[in-house]
């Protein structure tokens, strides 16, 4: 169940042709504890280092596989496409690269899914697509998801990962913060449950809007979460900031995160919370 | 004028700050302080006053009129308690059915260790969601720089006006140029690319109208602004609170451009 080893199998044939070890048996070095583990072992552990618990960043669809009931995910709003409203220099190329690197068409994946047969509406931001930055399409897809959830009496589970508002769409990106916050509010007014899961990194305009608006705010361990970038803060304050500044643990300590949940316990945590909010619809 | 010249004009130290508008537009003022949670942020001023004969709640981001004031209010960069103070005054306005008039003039919310510790992001997020549902009219006037999320935190309004040279931007052109082109000196190009002028805002539906500047005749300029605000508020006076919130929601709901 929820095995994501397949993540590494895609490229197997290419590598095997040269007589190299199957890719899943290759070792990868943990950037945190520097230990070597096979890709299979890391993937089996949901892309968490079995030695030190370092959480690798994972793509949106990998997260779907790792977390939700098999084949329960139904994508929504995939037809909403990005235009280049300001004809911003280099934007088209950046979009192209984002597509190639992530395999997604935009910075968020939306849909419905189930955890132990409990249905929910989900959005998962894609850190590999232009750093999960939020332009018109990301905003519109998440706004529609909250409306869809409201109509269908579904709880929303949202995974944030974003560098903030996407500057290539200028003020239109900034306005998505207000727009999505408005739909979060409406869903909530009607009794809807919204659980946010902050993942690395959640910063800028996403932190200053729907990331911080969950009824319950969970976070993956050690995720960077903040409004201003660390470098900007260091420049303003002219002093070296503590190592854990803007980490999930820092936010927990200051009262802005409810619980830090390791990826391996995320499914059962969400399952429990959904169940305790009324099972199926998690609504009154 | 090109976008970057507009930005320079918007940042001009001689330009009237929020306090100047508040003093000209509202009579019988009582300034209120504090967020009731942590502190009073001098970068966000607010209180109750009369606009003509209408009691209103006014809230403004203050840059400071001299160096001493500027340092005190961190050159108009609010702390989380500033946004929480604004929200407290807005909820109070809602309770007593007073309209809210906001003045925006900031390069952005304050970036600092303490601001992060006290939840700058959470404070702005809360304003966005709560302002959207506020059952009383909100009018925002961008009088200078509308810098990113820090400006948006007071701009979830039924109507937004831009002064002629005011700007509104997702990121400072300097920041944009240094991230994209690793050269802050290309800020003028970035300003052009980002589309930050009052005309741009009306085109995108982010602002309703542009207000001509005439700082040489500031009283006259404020007099006509006052007439406009009175007219707006009279127009809202028969609209139920629920409908005002719904109109505000719809105003933002349609923002953005995409294809499908
Ligand atoms: Zn490790």
Distance A124 CA to ligand 1 centre (A): 25
With respect to residue A3, please indicate whether it lies within any of the assigned structural domains: yes
Q: How many domains would you assign to chain A?
A: 2
**Cα B232 → chain centroid:** 17
Distance A47 CA to ligand 1 centre (A): 11
Torsion-angle region of A225 (φ positive above 0: left; ψ -120 to 50: alpha; else: beta): beta
- Are A152 and A70 contained in the same domain? yes
* Cross-chain residue pair A174–B148, CB shorter than 8 Å: yes
Tell me how far CA of residue B112 lies from CA of A43, A120, B41, in angstroms.
38, 37, 14
- Are A176 and A197 contained in the same domain? yes
Question: Is any Cβ of chain B less than 8 angstroms from the Cβ of A94?
Answer: no
Question: Is any Cβ of chain B less than 8 angstroms from the Cβ of A256?
Answer: yes
Task: Say how far apart CA B49 and CA B229 lie, in whole Å.
Answer: 14
- Are A37 and A123 contained in the same domain? no
Task: Say how far apart CA B151 and CA B108 lie, in whole Å.
Answer: 6
- Mean pLDDT per 10-residue interval, chain B, length 260 residues: 93 96 98 98 98 98 96 96 98 98 97 96 98 98 97 98 98 94 92 97 98 97 98 97 98 97
The three-state DSSP-derived secondary structure of chain A is CCCCCHHHHCCHHHHHHCCCCCHHHCEEECCCCCCEEEHHHHHHCCCECCCCCCECCCCHHHHHHHHCCCCCCEEECCCCEECCCCCCCCHHHHHHHHHHHHCCCCCEEEEEEEECCEEEEEEEECCCCHHHCECHHHHHHHHHHHHHHHHCCCCEEEEEEECCECHHHHHHHHHHHHHHHHHHHHHHHCCCCEEEEEEEEEEHHHHCCHHHCCCEEEECCCCEEECCCHHHHHHHHCCCCCCCCCEHHHHHHCCCCCEECCHHHHHHHHHHHHHHCCCCCCCC
Q: Extract long-range pairs of A268-272: CB within 8 Å, 24+ residues apart.
A: A269/A218, A270/A67, A270/A115, A270/A157, A270/A195, A270/A197, A271/A115, A271/A116, A271/A118
Number of A/B CB contacts below 8 angstroms equals 183
Name residues 168-197 of chain A within 8 A of B (Cβ).
169-179, 181-186, 189
Question: Is any Cβ of chain B less than 8 angstroms from the Cβ of A133?
Answer: no
Cα dihedral A236, A242, A246, A248 in deg (nearest 10):
180
With respect to residue A283, please indicate whether it lies within any of the assigned structural domains: no
Residue after which a domain boundary falls, among A39, A56, A73: A56
Tell me how far CA of residue B33 lies from CA of B48, B72, B74, B86, in angstroms.
11, 15, 17, 10
- Are A81 and A208 contained in the same domain? yes
With respect to residue B255, please indicate whether it lies within any of the assigned structural domains: no
- Are A50 and A73 contained in the same domain? no
Range of the domain at B16: 3-246
Residue after which a domain boundary falls, among A30, A56, A82: A56
Query: How many other C-beta atoms are found inside a 10 Å radius of the C-beta of residue A93?
Result: 9
Non-local CB neighbours of A11 within 8 Å, separated by 6+ positions = A23
CB-neighbour burial class of residue A69 (10 A; exposed 0-12, middle 13-18, buried 19+): middle
Task: Say how far apart CA A227 and CA B219 lie, in whole Å.
Answer: 39
Residues B182-222 pLDDT 10s: 988 899 999 999 999 999 999 999 999 999 999 999 999 99
Test the A interface: residue of B121, B135, B156, B200 with most A CBs within 10 Å: B121
Tell me how far CA of residue B71 lies from CA of A233, A238, B77, B82, B200, in angstroms.
17, 16, 10, 15, 32
Test the A interface: residue of B77, B134, B149 with most A CBs within 10 Å: B149
Q: How far is B63 from chain A (nearest CA, A)?
A: 17
Q: How far is B148 from chain A (nearest CA, A)?
A: 7
pLDDT at A19: 44
HSE value, Cβ hemisphere, 13 Å, CA-based, for B212: 7
pLDDT at A279: 54
Chain A residues lying within 8 Å of B180, measured CB to CB: 90, 167
Q: How many domains would you assign to chain B?
A: 1
- Are A47 and A89 contained in the same domain? no
* Cross-chain residue pair A176–B255, CB shorter than 8 Å: yes
pLDDT at A5: 78
pLDDT at A2: 75
With respect to residue A66, please indicate whether it lies within any of the assigned structural domains: yes
- Are A62 and A3 contained in the same domain? no
* Cross-chain residue pair A228–B115, CB shorter than 8 Å: yes
- Are A176 and A81 contained in the same domain? yes
Residues, CB within 5 angstroms of ligand 1 (ion):
A 30, 32-33, 49, 51-52, 54
With respect to residue B254, please indicate whether it lies within any of the assigned structural domains: no
Chain B residues lying within 8 Å of A171, measured CB to CB: 168-170, 194-196, 200-201, 204, 206
Q: Looking at chain A, which residue has its C-alpha nearest residue B77?
A: A236
pLDDT at A1: 54
Test the A interface: residue of B78, B120, B122 with most A CBs within 10 Å: B122
A85 → closest Cβ in B155, B180, B257: B257
What value, to the nearest 5°, has the Cα angle with vertex A237 and ends A231 and A242?
65
CB A155 within 8 A of CB A283: yes
Task: Say how far apart CA B103 and CA B154 lie, in whole Å.
Answer: 8
Distance A55 CA to ligand 1 centre (A): 9
Chain A residues lying within 8 Å of B259, measured CB to CB: 80-83
For helices A170-189 and B241-253, give the axis angle rounded to 10 degrees: 140
* Cross-chain residue pair A90–B180, CB shorter than 8 Å: yes
- Are A38 and A116 contained in the same domain? no
Question: Is any Cβ of chain B less than 8 angstroms from the Cβ of A216?
Answer: no
Residue after which a domain boundary falls, among A36, A56, A76: A56
With respect to residue B251, please indicate whether it lies within any of the assigned structural domains: no
With respect to residue B111, please indicate whether it lies within any of the assigned structural domains: yes
- Are A131 and A35 contained in the same domain? no
- Are A40 and A67 contained in the same domain? no
- CATH value at residue A161: 3.90.226.10
- Are A237 and A174 contained in the same domain? yes
Non-local CB neighbours of A66 within 8 Å, separated by 6+ positions = A2, A4, A46, A47, A58, A263, A267
- Mean pLDDT per 10-residue interval, chain A, length 284 residues: 71 45 83 94 94 96 95 97 97 96 96 96 97 97 98 97 97 98 96 97 98 98 95 86 94 98 97 85 46
What value, to the nearest 5°, has the Cα angle with vertex A163 and ends A159 and A167?
125
With respect to residue B137, please indicate whether it lies within any of the assigned structural domains: yes
* Share above pLDDT 90 across residues of chain B, in percent, rounded to a whole number: 98
Chain B residues lying within 8 Å of A226, measured CB to CB: 116, 121
- CATH value at residue B90: 3.90.226.10
With respect to residue A281, please indicate whether it lies within any of the assigned structural domains: no
Residues B15-26 pLDDT 10s: 999 999 999 999
* Cross-chain residue pair A233–B116, CB shorter than 8 Å: yes
Range of the domain at A10: 1-56
With respect to residue B50, please indicate whether it lies within any of the assigned structural domains: yes
**What is the ipTM for the molecules in this complex?**
0.97
**pLDDT, averaged across chain B:** 97
Question: Is any Cβ of chain B less than 8 angstroms from the Cβ of A201?
Answer: no
Query: How many other C-beta atoms are found inside a 10 Å radius of the C-beta of residue A244?
Result: 12
* Cross-chain residue pair B258–A82, CB shorter than 8 Å: yes
With respect to residue A282, please indicate whether it lies within any of the assigned structural domains: no
Chain A residues lying within 8 Å of B122, measured CB to CB: 207, 212, 256
B193 → closest Cβ in A88, A184, A212: A88
Tell me how far CA of residue B250 lies from CA of A105, A182, A186, in angstroms.
27, 9, 12
Torsion-angle region of A262 (φ positive above 0: left; ψ -120 to 50: alpha; else: beta): beta
With respect to residue B260, please indicate whether it lies within any of the assigned structural domains: no
């Amino acid at each position: 169940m929820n095995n994501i080893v397949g993540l590494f199998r895609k490229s197997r044939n290419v590598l095997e042709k040269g007589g190299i070890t199957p890719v899943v048996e290759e070792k990868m070095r943990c950037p945190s504890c520097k230990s070597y583990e096979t890709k299979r072992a890391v993937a089996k552990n949901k892309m968490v280092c079995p030695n030190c618990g370092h959480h690798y960043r994972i793509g949106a669809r990998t997260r779907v596989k790792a977390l939700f009931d098999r084949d329960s995910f139904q994508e929504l709003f995939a037809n909403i496409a990005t235009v280049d409203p300001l004809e911003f220099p280099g934007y088209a190329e950046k979009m192209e690269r984002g597509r190639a690197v992530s395999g997604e068409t935009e910075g968020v994946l939306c849909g419905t899914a189930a955890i132990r047969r409990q249905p929910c509406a989900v959005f998962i931001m894609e850190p590999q697509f232009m750093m999960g930055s939020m332009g018109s399409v990301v905003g519109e897809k998440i706004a529609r998801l909250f409306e869809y959830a409201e109509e269908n009496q579904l709880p929303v589970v949202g995974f944030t990962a974003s560098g903030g508002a996407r500057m290539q769409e200028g003020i239109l990106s900034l306005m998505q913060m207000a727009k999505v916050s408005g739909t979060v509010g409406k869903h909530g007014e009607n009794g809807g449950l919204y659980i946010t899961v902050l993942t690395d990194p959640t910063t800028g305009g996403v932190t200053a809007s729907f990331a911080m608006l969950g009824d319950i705010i969970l976070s993956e361990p050690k995720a960077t979460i903040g409004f201003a970038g660390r470098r900007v803060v260091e420049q303003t304050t002219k002093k070296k900031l503590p190592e854990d500044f803007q980490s999930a643990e820092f936010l927990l300590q200051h009262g802005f995160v409810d619980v830090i949940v390791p990826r391996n316990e995320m499914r059962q945590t969400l399952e429990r919370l959904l169940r305790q909010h009324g099972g199926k619809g998690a609504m009154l | 004028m090109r976008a970057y010249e507009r930005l320079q004009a918007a940042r001009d130290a001689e330009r009237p700050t929020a306090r100047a508008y508040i003093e000209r537009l509202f009579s019988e003022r009582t300034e209120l302080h504090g967020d009731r949670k942590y502190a009073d942020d001098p970068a966000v001023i607010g209180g109750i006053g009369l606009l003509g004969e209408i009691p209103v709640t006014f809230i403004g981001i203050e840059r400071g009129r001299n160096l001493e004031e500027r340092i005190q209010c961190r050159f108009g960069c609010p702390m989380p308690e500033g946004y929480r103070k604004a929200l407290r005054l807005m909820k109070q306005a809602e309770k007593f059915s007073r309209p809210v008039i906001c003045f925006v003039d900031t390069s952005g919310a304050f970036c600092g260790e303490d601001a992060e510790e006290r939840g700058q992001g959470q404070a702005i997020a809360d304003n966005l969601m709560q302002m959207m549902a506020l059952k009383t009219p909100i009018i925002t006037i961008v009088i200078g720089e509308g810098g990113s999320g820090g400006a948006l935190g007071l701009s979830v309004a039924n109507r937004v006006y831009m002064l002629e040279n005011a700007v509104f931007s997702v990121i400072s052109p300097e920041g944009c140029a240094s991230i994209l082109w690793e050269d802050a000196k290309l800020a003028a190009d970035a300003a052009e690319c980002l589309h930050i002028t009052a005309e741009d805002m009306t085109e995108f539906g982010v602002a309703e109208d542009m207000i001509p500047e005439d700082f040489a005749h500031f009283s006259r300029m404020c007099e006509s602004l006052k007439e406009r605000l009175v007219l707006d508020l009279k127009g809202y006076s028969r609209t139920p609170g629920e409908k005002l919130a719904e109109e505000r929601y719809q105003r933002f709901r349609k923002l953005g451009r995409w294809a499908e």
